[in-house]
Chains A and B, each alone.
Chain A
Amino acid sequence: MRWISLISIWMIPAMVGFILLYSTWKKIPAYETFVEGGKEGIKIAVSIIPFLVGMLVAITIFRASGALEFFVGFLKPVLNLFGVPSEIVPLALIRPVSGNAALGIMTDLIKTYGPDSLIGRMASVIQGSTDTTLYVVTVYFGAVGIRKMGDALKVGLLADLVGIIIAVTIVLLLF
């Protein structure tokens, strides 16, 4: 356990140190280059704002209106058939949409059912093995100003669906 937290603590400083050492060795003016690259960051952050506001407002309306709950209710009987606890459904639906909300739901599930219960383990694996597709799509494409997403959203969400099915199946098989 300790070595894992040790690695995560050392990781970033080690990377920063290595990049700087390498640039000194190659005789690159590190500070000037850093400032030049960093300037872009401000521009990108500002250009994301409208994309993120649009996406986040739409998602929150969908949740606050009770529409999400409605669709969760639909899925429950199907999942019970396969022995999947329906408590996991809200997490599975929120996971591609909002990272913070998913983390909240996962923490709540672990708190309520215990980290070593089937539900707690399933929540942990789902949280760890998928990512927030909508956020990634919005931020990455927003930053370069792409409005036509083509197949990107379909591919991302399908991958999430497969990912959650795989996560649930693996937990059912292993524990």
Chain B
Amino acid sequence: MTVIGLVFAGINGKMKEVNQAIFVSARDAVAISIGLISVLVFWLGMMKIAEVSGLLAKLSRLFRPLITKLFPEVPENHPAMGYILSNLIANMFGLGNAATPLGIKAMEQLHELNGRKPETSRSMITFLALNTSGLTIIPATVIAIRMNYHSAQPTEIVAPTLIATFSTTIAAICIDRFFYHRRAKRRR
């Protein structure tokens, strides 16, 4: 991607812009990471309490039938389940800043389950597929922007967004399954 970009910059005479873009974006990336510290510390601290007090395990017990189907490799009472669920719930309510730390923590637990190998496991890919399909119940930011620009009905997009996000999630699970079976076939 970078090389294609550089070639295009040469052709389009945009080397100056690219030069600037490199350093601005590198600085932005560091700023994003540093900015994450506050939410990471807060939510990981909070969730540690939830984990130790057994709240997280209660949550995973509630959704056990659904989640064990999606993640057959994860043991039922493993804390990974709790983190996966709380990440998905945070995503659904549009709590982006809570979802990221929970997702990282879930990924870490899955990594541990995979024997700390430097490659992705089946459950990791499933978890990622669920996350990228952007399950939302209330697209709060979008509604706020529509209100800002005086929409007659700022919330009219809620129903279509819900339909879209749920069908996308189902599609993501299917795509994930398809790739899993392809991998399994190759190994044989």
Residues of B within 8 A of A131 (CB): 91, 131-134
With an 8 A cutoff between CB atoms, is B188 at the interface?
no
Is the beta-carbon distance between B160 and A170 smaller than 8 angstroms? yes
Known: A57-B22, A60-B21, A144-B111. A45 touches B149 (CB 8 A): no
Closest residue of B by beta carbon distance from A153: B128
Chain B, 3-41, CB within 8 A of any chain A CB: 4-9, 12, 14, 17-18, 20-22, 24-26, 28-30, 32-34, 36-37, 39-41
Is the beta-carbon distance between A41 and B101 smaller than 8 angstroms? yes
Q: Which of A41, A110, A155 contacts B145 (CB 8 A)?
A: A110
**Most chain A beta-carbon neighbours within 10 Å: one of B54, B154, B165, B168:** B168
Q: What is the CB-to-nearest-CB distance from B182 to chain A, in angstroms, rounded to a whole number?
A: 8
Residues of A within 8 A of B134 (CB): 128-131, 163
Residues of A within 8 A of B54 (CB): 26
Is the beta-carbon distance between A160 and B2 smaller than 8 angstroms? no
The CA-CA distance from A53 to B136 in the complex, in Å, is 28
Q: What is the CB-to-nearest-CB distance from B158 to chain A, in angstroms, rounded to a whole number?
A: 8
Q: What is the CB-to-nearest-CB distance from A46 to chain B, in angstroms, rounded to a whole number?
A: 7
**Segment of A72-80, A84-92, A114-122 engaged in the interface with chain B:** A114-122
Known: A37-B46, A141-B120. A151 touches B183 (CB 8 A): yes
Indicate the size class of the contact surface on chain A: 35 or more
Chain B, 127-144, CB within 8 A of any chain A CB: 128-129, 131-134, 136, 138-143
Known: A150-B120, A163-B171. A38 touches B45 (CB 8 A): yes
* SS of B interface (majority): helix
Residues of B within 8 A of A33 (CB): 45, 48-49, 52
Q: What is the CB-to-nearest-CB distance from A97 to chain B, in angstroms, rounded to a whole number?
A: 10
Is the beta-carbon distance between B44 and A155 smaller than 8 angstroms? no
Known: A150-B120, A166-B168. A133 touches B142 (CB 8 A): no
Q: Enumerate the 4 nearest inter-chain pairs by beta-carbon distance, A residue then B residue, closest first.
A: A37-B48, A128-B139, A41-B40, A131-B134
Query: A residues within 8 Å of B by Cβ?
Result: 1, 4-5, 7-8, 11-12, 15-16, 19-20, 22-23, 26, 28, 30, 33-42, 44-46, 48-49, 52-53, 55-67, 70, 96, 103, 106-107, 110-111, 114-116, 120-121, 124-125, 127-133, 136-137, 139-141, 143-152, 154-156, 158-160, 162-163, 166-167, 170-171, 174
Query: B residues within 8 Å of A by Cβ?
Result: 1-2, 4-9, 12, 14, 17-18, 20-22, 24-26, 28-30, 32-34, 36-37, 39-55, 91, 93-95, 98, 100-101, 103-105, 107-108, 111, 118-120, 124-125, 128-129, 131-134, 136, 138-143, 145-147, 149-157, 159-161, 163-165, 167-168, 171-172, 175-176, 179-180, 183
A-B contact pairs, 13 of them (CB 8 A): A5-B140, A7-B138, A42-B40, A52-B29, A61-B6, A64-B20, A114-B151, A121-B157, A132-B132, A144-B108, A155-B179, A156-B129, A159-B175
Q: 17 new A-B pairs (CB below 8 Å) besides A48-B36, A64-B21, A170-B160?
A: A34-B48, A41-B43, A44-B44, A44-B101, A53-B25, A55-B29, A110-B145, A114-B151, A121-B156, A139-B100, A140-B103, A146-B120, A156-B128, A159-B133, A159-B175, A162-B171, A163-B172
